[in-house]
Amino acid sequence: MTAPVLAAPPATTPVSASTAPPAVRRRSRAASVALHATLVLACVVALFPIVWVVLSSFKPGVWVNSSDLSLVKEPTLANYRYVLTQTRFPTWMLNSVVVAAATTVIGVILAATTGYALSRFNFPGRRSLLLVFLVTQMFPVAVLIVPIYVIMARLGLINTLASLVLAYLTIAVPFCAWMLKGFFDTVPTSLDEAAGMDGCGPFTTFWRVILPLARPGIAVTAFFNFLTAWGEVAYASAFIQTSNRFTLAYGMQQFVPRYNPQWEYLTASAVLVTIPAAVVFFFAQRHLVSGLTAGATKG
């Protein structure tokens, strides 16, 4: 009877220095302290203006204008009460909501359909249209405000909220169309082909197949359109002439006249203006990062 043959253990390949995983480099204590100190300083610099505005909104005017640095002295809600009841702030708020909502809805529709067409269809003038969208972002508001004002005057839209909506769309739609085009480029065209085989036309494919996948990009587009209309001042100051048509950003200038600035009312109104933008950001934040990075690369 022969003895069983034992299998030799597999030979181990020695790990060379070139293939060994690099050792984790530990940060020194001094470097960690310097890094955290820099981060704390950056947070303080970023948060200080916000904290100052919020605290000043609860101070009487005498303490806001005082050179004495303090947190809150004699806190009061009189500033908010005055802004909400003794000024046209509620009217300005309503005007801003109407303008921002119209700009957001129309801007998302135009940018989404335009971005999808630029991404999926090859039509005459496509490259020229992309170039036009890109070139429009190069001009500052100071250059565009005069020709747009002339157009609005010929259309009889001066001192109307519609003029602001149209002006804000000229800012938001080209940029958002470019961004959504990059997002739609990341969606496989095989989905369009499969929808076409099922009898879907281009619009049905866009509405039922592609658009649900584009929620992050749509969220970023909507947020950008909203912020464009919510905080813009230049076009509002040029097109709007009566106080009952002011938007919030333009109406707040009434609290800082040349010789008697009312900082306590300005800070209170600034806090109130920030609340709707914070609410919109809260609901859109889940999609913002993925929407901003989705169209950065195509793979």
| Percent of residues, the chain, with pLDDT higher than 90 | 24
User: Does the pLDDT of residue 3 top 60, yes or no?
Assistant: no
In this predicted model, what pLDDT tens digit does every residue of 257-298 receive, in sequence order?
777 788 888 888 989 998 888 888 887 777 666 555 554 444
Return mean pLDDT, the chain: 82
Exposed (0-12), middle (13-18) or buried (19+): which is 266, by Cβ within 10 Å? Answer: buried
Contact present, 252 and 66 (Cβ < 8 Å): no
89 touches 244 (CB < 8 A): no
Q: Using CA of residue 63, residue 69, residue 72, residue 74, what is the dihedral sign?
A: negative
Give how far Cα 50 sits from Cα of 39, 58, 75, 269, Å. Answer: 17, 13, 17, 13
Alpha-carbon gap, residue 83 to 272, rounded angstroms? 10
> How far, in Å, CA of 100 to CA of 92, rounded?
12
**In this structure, what are the phi and psi dihedrals at residue 264, rounded to the nearest 5 degrees?**
-65, -35
Please report whether residue 137 resides in a domain. yes
Q: Are 143 and 264 within one domain? A: yes
Residues 43 and 122 in one domain: no
Same domain, 160 and 265: yes
Asked whether residue 38 falls in the same domain as residue 138, the answer is no
Whether residue 126 sits in one domain with residue 70: no
**168-181 pLDDT per residue, tens:** 999 899 988 988 88
Q: What percent of the chain has pLDDT over 70?
A: 83
Residue 9 lies in a domain: no
- pLDDT at position 18 over 70: no
Claim to verify: residue 172 and residue 261 sit in the same structural domain: yes
pLDDT-derived band of residue 163, with 50, 70 and 90 as boundaries? very high
CA distance 52 to 54: 6
Residue 264 CA to residue 174 CA, distance in Å, equals 38
* pLDDT tens figures, 21-78: 555 567 788 888 888 899 999 999 998 888 888 888 888 877 666 666 666 777 788 8
Lowest mean per-residue pLDDT among 23-27, 29-33, 201-205, 215-219 = 23-27
Print the domain residue range for 96. 86-294
CA angle 247, 46, 48 (to 5 degrees): 85
pLDDT at position 70: 65
How many domains is the chain built from?
2
**Is residue 67 included in any domain, yes or no?**
yes
As a whole number, mean pLDDT of residues 119-126 equals 86
**For the range 65-71, what are the long-range contacts, defined as Cβ-Cβ under 8 Å and sequence gap of 24 or more?**
65/263
Task: Give me the count of residues in the chain.
Answer: 299
Mean pLDDT of 234-256: 88
| Inter-residue contact 103 to 230 (CB < 8 Å) | no
User: Are 58 and 176 members of one domain?
Assistant: no
